[in-house]
């Protein structure tokens, strides 16, 4: 079918459909779901299990190991990471990247965890499976209050949460920073011993009265009456009025005479949250898939304004993080770059082709872009950084098809052909070569679609947008462009156009003449020309290892992350006190005027407010802060100021101050793992690696995830003495647990809240280490108390704070950051010493790189894995097109020519080599071979018309110089906005494409003729 002829015949329906599609594309731009970054499937779930007070070694052996062995049976599981600490087991379950339907996998995980519960020790709390670990809070709110308690704030927060759920598109709203209310009965152990009452007896008395059990019902025949006995406590004061009957006393006593009764919050505090230094409750608001952040967020903000107006005086509801601002900045910023690129492309085309033809060719570009947006909307591709910037990359490619069609039409008119003949024969003869060229380029992006890696998923929209835009460009070039040329391209150029193009033509003719001289010399000295190209390639390859390497670049977000870590045995109370001191320091407006606001979290990592940022597991000795900075140029100075300030003012706090990052992980952090069965061996080796890193100048934030050893006290119960006293080890453990940490003995019910009633010792007793020896244990056999030191000895000992495992092997991970080098460069520097340590390890122990180093390697392998398939498809396509083996070989041989320019571009622009640069190299290969295809196709046409070999080559190079140079110049200039703006994600890729295409095109125009003449020299001799 002749597409151009059909388009001319049905031109009215064609342009009507085109107009509708363009309108739909415009509508799609404003209605497509917008995101800051591509949506990635987080294939990770967390299994949390608690046994309060159990030592980390026992947790690892009795809980973590049992669960790991059960989870390992799930075939889709790729990696299991676990942390065993005092009283807690946390297991991260990661699924292989090739799986997308996770619901069945998570259900299988729950089944396996549930089945393993019977193997866990008695007293273990049920395991909790969290498969919503990847939900992103696109808005976080902070509720603060002056003159209101945390309990009152919690009630207000629940009301606000219920109101916010009315906003359509809300997935869930988590409340963070809530402190559970508790009622404490603080009793002196000495008083209990004097009265001879056991805590268990006190619990029984409370529970026997504090009931909500019904008393049945009486059926009188006509009516039925429900019976409800009283006894439920209606106030805290009523608890104090409870009468306690003691055998040795003639009269009962009131509970308030026996214990101090007070209402408070969980002690020590658990997962506190702050906003600008004030206690806060944080709302983490997640959005349903398919909704637009830029639509959802303003609606949520409007609802917040309504709520704010109705809040009592003293309450403040403020926005802590608001992703819509970043999305708007990213999407509209890239959109401006697209418009700038479009203007540049149009100007270049008009300079080369004249105003009339230039407008015809240039008008296709916005049509292609809008139609691409329409297709993206139809296929469910979101509007984000990747998909929009891909349109910039594709602009030079989009215009290539239109240039070839328009030039061919104009040339046919100049040769005297009829308009109808030029329209029907020109596009039809070029359809297959242009389609082959477009498909070749698309195939080079195929590894992105097929890569089974999170980095490939992050950049997958690039390949999809390239596919959509190039095929749309090909279709419009064969339908719309010929029709426009038919009506608007005239054979003689207008006088004013000749005048405006004369200077450009003179310049072009000079370049053309110079090129002909160079080409003639190179064809006469083919060996020297090819040898020089090979030498340049060798130099480029040899210089690659010395390039700076960065998996993904830093983010341009105006936020700073601060991780705080105290000694491993620090309590949450000590961590909270340290954070309070930090807040006081940050409250100085003269020192930190650049900080707009900050949110802080004690004992946990807060919500996931960015997809790439995984919150740390809860830990009492850790804190986390997010600082919002008002200007981008203040980010680096503030980081230095904070690092110096923490080092000088808070030497007891290990503070890690960093900026945000793009991609799956921070490219500046190196992770080295030591694995093996002997925990002492791997920990000692980890300390050696820390010492090695400390000797490297510029290395900071060195730490290991086992954190170190903590001191504990072992109570060695003499079983013979204990049994003679009528006391069991369980009596000792229960008494000590209740005495020092508290034990729940009943519940207080207030409206819909259930508040635990906790028994514990008085403040001066439970915080006194000496009281451990003298605490009295109740003997049920003799009905009196026995001092603990009479039946037990005490022995201090040390154990690891945390025991980390990966895939069932104990693993110590050492992390560090360098001030100027990325993790991959730092790895090259220290790797000889690391390998030396590895060789000296005992059997079954090893050292491996993890983190960004391993992720980068895996991502590159995932891309390269499918390259043989891509090359095979391209070669088959070229062989079918040319019906030849030598021509495809020449075309494939031009791919390394772009590599020469790409490497030089990285050196000149000081851009690091990373995953995005790798994508640039793939796309560069697709563009370079297009030039070779067009050139060889023209040589073959000339030879078929009867020209000799050298004449055919020179004439083909002469005729294809302008379209090839035009495509190159438009693509290179189109990339300038990304280079000039130093786009955080696309800077390296743009440098590779710009320099690689510029240098590669020049070499292609010279090397392809030499290779063709060399491969077909026998045919030339015959001719």
Assign 379 a pLDDT band (cuts: 50, 70, 90): confident
Question: In the structure encoding, which two tokens stand for residue 285, read together?
Answer: 């608001």
Alpha-carbon distances of 571 from 60, 576, 603, 680, rounded to whole Å: 21, 9, 9, 25
Task: State residue 503's pLDDT score.
Answer: 64
Per-residue pLDDT, 861: 84
Q: 3-class DSSP state for residue 358?
A: helix
Helix (H) / strand (E) element for 487: namely helix 460-488
pLDDT given for residue 494 in this prediction:
45
Query: Residue 924 is encoded by which pair of tokens?
Result: 């560069």
Q: Per-residue confidence at 304, pLDDT binned at 50, 70, 90? A: very high
Q: CA angle, corner 525, sides to 519 and 530, nearest 5?
A: 85
Between the ranges 246-260, 387-401, 631-645, 908-922, where is the mean pLDDT highest? 631-645
Pairs from 15-21 (Cβ < 8 Å, separation ≥ 24): 15/480, 18/367, 18/480, 21/370, 21/371, 21/374
Neighbours of 530 (CB within 10 A): 17
Give one DSSP letter per residue of 156-207, joined into a string.
HHHHHHHHHTTSTTEEEEEEES---EEEEEE--HHHHHHHT--HHHHHHHHH
Taking residues 471-492, report their average pLDDT. 86
In whole angstroms, what is the distance from residue 48 CA to residue 131 CA?
Answer: 11
Two structure tokens written together for 941: 């046409």
What order of strands is seen across the sheet that includes strand 272-275? 278-279, 272-275, 595-602, 622-629, 559-565, 654-659
User: Which of 559, 604, 608 has its CA nearest to residue 136?
Assistant: 608
- Whole-angstrom Cα distance, residue 861 to residue 844? 27
Question: What integer best gives the mean pLDDT of the chain?
Answer: 87
What DSSP letter does each residue of 233-290 carry, written as one string? --SHHHHHT-EE--TT-SS-EEHHHHSEEEEEE-SS--SEEEETTEE-EEEEEEE-TT
Q: What pLDDT was estimated at residue 491?
A: 67
d(CA 462, CA 658): 29
Q: What is the pLDDT of residue 500?
A: 46
What is residue 658's three-state secondary structure?
strand
Q: What is the pLDDT of residue 550?
A: 84
User: Which two three-digit tokens encode residue 796?
Assistant: 């201090």
pLDDT (0 to 100) of residue 119: 93
pLDDT (average), residues 113-118: 93
673 dihedral zone (left: phi>0; alpha: psi -120 to 50; beta):
beta
Backbone angles phi, psi at 655, to 5 degrees: -110, 130
Q: How confident is the model at residue 502 (pLDDT cuts 50, 70, 90)?
A: low
Q: Please compute, for residue 689, the number of CA atoms within 13 A of its CA located in the half-sphere on the CB side.
A: 33
Given CA atoms 112, 114, 117, 119 in this order, what sign does their dihedral have? negative
Asked if 405 and 427 count as a contact pair (C-beta separation under 8 A), the reply is yes
How much is the average pLDDT of 906-921?
A: 87
| Highest mean pLDDT pick, 233-237, 928-932, 992-996 | 992-996
Would you say 610 and 39 are in contact if contact means Cβ atoms under 8 Å apart?
no
Structure tokens at 640: 């230095």
Stated as kind and residue range, the H or E segment containing 443 is helix 419-444
Q: How many residues does the chain have?
A: 1023
pLDDT of residue 493 exceeding 70, the answer is: no
The residue assigned the tokens 């040795």 is 248
Report whether 877 contacts 871 (CB < 8 A).
no
Name the nearest CA neighbour of 581 among 524, 650, 496.
650
Strand 128-130 vs strand 315-322: parallel, antiparallel, or unpaired? Answer: unpaired
**Angle CA 847–850–852, to nearest 5:** 150
Q: What is the mean pLDDT of residues 685-699?
A: 93
Instruction: Write out pLDDT tens, residues 167-217.
Output: 999 999 999 999 999 999 998 888 888 887 888 888 888 888 777 777 788
What pLDDT shows up at residue 582? Answer: 95
Classified as helix, coil or strand, 702 is strand
- Tokens 């270049």 -> residue: 348
Q: Is residue 356 predicted with pLDDT exceeding 90? A: no
CA gap 504, 498 in Å, rounded: 10
CA angle 327, 329, 330 (to 5 degrees): 65
C-alpha distance from residue 877 to each of 437, 440, 441, 455 (Å): 10, 8, 12, 29
The pLDDT confidence band at residue 691, using thresholds 50, 70 and 90, is: very high
pLDDT tens digits, 773-826: 888 898 887 788 889 999 999 999 889 999 999 999 999 999 999 988 889 899
pLDDT in tens, 147-166: 899 999 999 999 999 999 99
In sign, the C-alpha dihedral spanning 484, 485, 491, 494 is positive
**With 90 as the cut, is the pLDDT of residue 448 above it?**
no
Q: Cα(701)–Cα(699) distance, rounded to whole angstroms?
A: 7
Give the integer Cα–Cα distance in Å for 618 and 176: 13
pLDDT tier at 281, thresholds 50, 70, 90: very high
Q: Taking the C-alpha atoms of 316, 318, 320 and 323 in order, what is their torsion angle to the nearest 10 degrees?
A: 160
Q: Could you give the C-alpha distances from 333 to 546, 625, 628, 981, in angstroms and in order?
A: 33, 28, 20, 10
- The pLDDT tens digits of the residues spanning 952-986 come to 888 888 888 877 888 788 888 878 888 888 878 78
Question: Is the pLDDT reported for residue 496 higher than 60?
Answer: no
Mean pLDDT (whole number) for 621-626? 94
Phi and psi of 524, rounded to 5°? -85, -20
Peptide bond into 268 cis (omega under 30): yes
- Please name the residue ranges forming H helices in 695-761: 719-724, 729-736
Using only C-alpha atoms, the chain has a radius of gyration, in whole angstroms, of: 37
Mean pLDDT of all residues in 372-389: 83
**Strand pairing partners for 743?**
759
Q: What pLDDT is stored for residue 60 in this prediction?
A: 94
| Tokens standing for residue 974 | 């189109």
- DSSP of 24-51, one letter per residue? HHHHHHHHSPB-SS------EEEEEEE-
Whether the per-residue pLDDT at 511 is higher than 90: the answer is no
Residue owning tokens 């259930």: 754
- Name which residue leads in pLDDT, 930 or 794: 794
Work out the pLDDT band at 282, boundaries 50, 70, 90. Answer: very high
Instruction: Please state, in angstroms and rounded to a whole number, the distance separating the CA atoms of residues 211 and 873.
Output: 76
pLDDT at 495 over 60: no
Distance (Å, whole) CA 493 – CA 491:
6
- Contact between 552 and 915 under an 8 Å Cβ cutoff? The reply is yes
With a cut of 80, say whether residue 330 has pLDDT above it. no
Q: What percentage of the chain exceeds 90 in pLDDT?
A: 35
672 forms beta bridges with 814, 849
Which pLDDT does position 803 carry in this prediction? 94
Contact 705, 804 (CB under 8 A): yes
CB 927 within 8 A of CB 970: no
């Amino acid at each position: 079918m002749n597409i151009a002829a059909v388009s001319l015949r049905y031109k009215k329906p064609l342009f009507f459909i085109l107009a509708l599609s363009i309108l739909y594309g415009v509508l799609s731009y404003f209605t497509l779901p917008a995101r800051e970054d591509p949506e990635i499937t987080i294939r990770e779930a967390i299994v949390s299990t608690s046994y309060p007070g159990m030592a980390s070694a026992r947790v690892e052996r009795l809980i973590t190991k049992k669960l790991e062995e059960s989870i390992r049976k799930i075939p889709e599981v790729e990696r299991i990471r676990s942390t065993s600490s005092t009283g807690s087991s946390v297991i991260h379950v990661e699924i292989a990247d090739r799986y997308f339907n996770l619901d069945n996998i998570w259900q299988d995980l729950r089944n396996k965890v549930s089945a393993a519960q019977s193997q866990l020790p008695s007293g273990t709390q049920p395991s909790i499976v969290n498969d919503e670990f990847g939900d992103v809070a696109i808005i976080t709110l902070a509720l603060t209050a002056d003159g209101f308690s945390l309990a009152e704030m919690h009630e207000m927060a629940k009301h606000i949460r219920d109101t916010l759920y009315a906003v359509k598109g809300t997935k869930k709203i988590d409340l963070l920073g809530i402190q559970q209310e508790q009622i404490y009965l603080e009793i002196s152990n000495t008083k209990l011993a004097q009265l001879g009452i056991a805590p268990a007896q006190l619990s029984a008395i409370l529970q026997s009265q504090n009931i909500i059990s019904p008393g049945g019902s009486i059926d009188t025949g006509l009516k039925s009456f429900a019976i409800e006995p009283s006894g439920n406590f209606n106030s805290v004061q009523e608890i104090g009025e409870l009468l306690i009957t003691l055998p040795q006393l003639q009269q009962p006593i009131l509970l308030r005479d026996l214990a101090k009764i007070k209402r408070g919050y969980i002690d020590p505090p658990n997962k506190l949250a702050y906003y600008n230094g004030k206690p806060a409750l944080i709302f983490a608001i997640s959005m349903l898939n398919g909704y637009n952040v830029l639509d959802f967020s303003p609606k949520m903000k409007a609802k917040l304004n309504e709520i704010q107006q109705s809040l009592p005086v003293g309450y403040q509801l403020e926005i802590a993080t608001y992703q819509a601002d970043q999305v708007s900045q990213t999407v509209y910023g890239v959109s401006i770059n697209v418009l700038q690129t479009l203007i540049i492309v149009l100007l270049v085309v008009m300079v080369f082709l004249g105003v009339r033809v230039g407008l015809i060719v240039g008008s296709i570009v916005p049509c292609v872009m809008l139609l691409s947006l329409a297709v993206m909307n139809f296929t469910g591709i979101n509007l984000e950084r990747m998909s929009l910037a891909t349109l910039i990359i594709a602009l030079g490619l989009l215009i290539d098809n239109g240039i070839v069609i328009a030039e061919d039409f104009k040339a046919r008119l100049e040769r005297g052909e009829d308009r109808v003949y030029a329209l029907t024969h020109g596009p039809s003869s070029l359809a297959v070569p242009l389609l082959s060229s477009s498909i070749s380029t698309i195939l080079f992006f195929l590894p992105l679609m097929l890569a089974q890696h999170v980095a490939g998923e992050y950049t997958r929209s690039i390949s999809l947008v390239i596919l959509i835009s190039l095929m749309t460009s090909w279709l419009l070039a064969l339908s719309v462009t010929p029709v426009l040329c038919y009506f608007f391209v005239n054979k003689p150029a207008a006088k004013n156009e000749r005048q405006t193009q004369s200077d450009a033509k003179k310049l072009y003719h000079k370049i053309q003449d110079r090129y002909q001289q160079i080409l003639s010399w190179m064809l006469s000295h083919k060996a020297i020309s090819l040898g020089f190209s090979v030498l340049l390639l060798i130099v480029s390859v040899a210089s690659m290892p010395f390039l700076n390497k960065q998996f993904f670049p830093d983010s341009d977000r105006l936020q700073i992350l601060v991780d705080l870590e105290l000694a491993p045995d620090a309590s949450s109370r000590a961590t909270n006190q340290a954070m309070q001191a930090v807040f006081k320091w940050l409250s100085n407006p003269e020192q930190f005027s650049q900080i707009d606001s900050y949110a802080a979290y004690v004992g946990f990592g807060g919500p996931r407010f960015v997809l790439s940022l995984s919150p740390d597991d809860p830990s009492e000795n850790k804190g986390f802060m997010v600082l919002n900075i008002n200007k981008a140029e203040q980010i680096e100075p503030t980081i230095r100021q904070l690092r110096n300030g923490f080092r000088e003012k808070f030497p007891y706090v290990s503070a890690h101050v960093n900026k945000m990052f793009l991609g799956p992980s921070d490219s500046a952090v190196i992770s080295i793992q030591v694995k093996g069965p002997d925990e002492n061996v791997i920990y000692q080796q980890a300390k050696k690696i820390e010492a090695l890193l400390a000797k490297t100048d510029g290395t900071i934030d060195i730490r290991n995830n086992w954190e170190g050893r903590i001191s504990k006290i072992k109570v060695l119960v003499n079983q013979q003495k204990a049994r003679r006293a009528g006391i069991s080890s369980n009596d000792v453990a229960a008494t000590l647990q209740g005495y020092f940490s508290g034990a729940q003995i009943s519940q207080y019910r207030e409206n819909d809240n259930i508040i635990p009633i906790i028994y514990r010792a008085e403040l001066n007793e439970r915080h006194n280490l000496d009281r451990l020896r003298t605490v009295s244990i109740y003997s049920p056999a003799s009905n009196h108390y026995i001092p603990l030191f009479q039946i037990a000895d005490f022995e201090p000992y040390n154990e690891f704070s945390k025991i980390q495992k990966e895939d069932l092997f104990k693993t110590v991970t050492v992390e560090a950051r360098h001030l100027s080098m990325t993790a991959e460069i730092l790895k090259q520097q220290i790797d000889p010493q690391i390998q030396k340590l590895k060789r000296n390890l005992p059997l079954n122990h090893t050292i491996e790189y993890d983190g960004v180093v391993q992720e980068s390697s895996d991502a590159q392998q995932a891309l390269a894995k499918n390259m043989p398939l891509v090359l095979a498809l391209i070669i088959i396509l070229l062989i079918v097109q040319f019906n030849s083996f030598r021509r495809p070989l020449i075309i494939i041989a031009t791919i390394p020519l772009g590599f020469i320019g790409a490497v030089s571009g990285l050196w000149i622009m000081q851009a690091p080599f990373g995953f995005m640069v790798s994508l640039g190299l793939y796309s560069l290969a697709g563009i370079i071979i297009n030039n070779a295809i067009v050139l060889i196709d023209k040589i073959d046409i000339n030879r078929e018309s009867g020209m000799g070999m050298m004449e055919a080559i020179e004439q083909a190079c002469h005729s294809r110089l302008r379209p090839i140079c035009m495509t190159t110049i438009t693509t290179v200039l189109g990339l300038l906005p990304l280079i000039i703006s130093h786009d955080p994600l696309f800077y390296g890729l743009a440098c590779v494409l710009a320099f690689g295409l510029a240098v590669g095109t020049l070499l292609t125009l010279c090397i392809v003729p030499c290779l063709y003449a060399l491969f077909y020299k026998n045919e030339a001799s015959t001719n």
